[in-house]
Amino acid sequence: MPIAASLSLTMSIPENFTLKKLYDLNGLIALVTGGGTGIGLMIARGLAANGAKVYITGRRKEVLDKVVSEWNATKGDDMGPMIAQEMDVTKKDSIKAGVTTIAQADGKLHILVNNAGQSGPASPELNRPSPTAQKEAGPLSEYLFNNESFEEWSSLYAINTFSIYFVTVAFLDLLDKGSKNNDKEGFSSSVINITSMSGLIKVAQRHFCYNSSKAAGSHLTRMLSTEFALKGINVRVNAIAPGVYESEMTHDTISGQAATDAVGMPVLSIPAKRPGT
């Protein structure tokens, strides 16, 4: 019998390789911004389902309370609880209040998901295949310049980009304590920024502001992770760039295949026949 085959027959599968161990989040504290709806809610449920204590934040307390009430009433015994934390990620005082809440209750944080985000000012005629679409430089210049404002751009950047920076650095000390105070071998706290595939592509998709804000979020992720590492702070920073999923934010843009195709994002070439895949 070949040596490799002999080894494979006698080698037992380590318990650490099982799904339960690989995704065991028992004892970990997590915070998901924008956790009351859409992708943030799915992330929060996934973390709590695997044992984490999950704080979900948002500006609409009633939305958060409804999610928490439903989850805590139906979750399994081995699943973690959810806690609603009203927090505006564009306001320093609100962010600091969130830090204080977790510092007093738990004294550390292990997982921070910067998910809060919005769509923003759009120029619908930019890539719409219609007779009114501007294709000449003069009319296009006037249309793009007059259709959006500095205030709209600043407002969107505040939630999509600025918030990643301010929320991350505000919770950095708690994240560092999460790395130092846990019983999981080799563990380090993690920041996960939810950006977008729109920040990676070259076309504007009708909204220069949104796409560039997500691209900025991706680069901010690189800088934060590098600076923390250079300073010996054991906190990882990574980003996930989802495709376009139907959610509260995107509902007016996509709602089924017909609407998805209409905005130039056909799903016919995708085996699962759904956007975001």
* Residues 222-257: tens digit of each pLDDT: 999 999 999 999 999 999 999 876 555 554 555 555
Give the span between the Cα atoms of 277 and 274, in whole angstroms: 6
Kindly report the pTM of this predicted structure.
Answer: 0.85
User: What's the average model confidence in pLDDT over 205-216?
Assistant: 94
Q: 7-11, 118-122, 158-162: which has the minimum mean pLDDT?
A: 7-11
What homologous superfamily is domain 14-123+155-242 in, according to CATH?
NAD(P)-binding Rossmann-like Domain (3.40.50.720)
Q: Of 71, 52, 60, 65, whose CA–CA distance to 34 is shortest?
A: 60
Domain boundaries of the chain, sorted by first residue: 14-123+155-242
Helix, strand, or coil here: 133?
coil
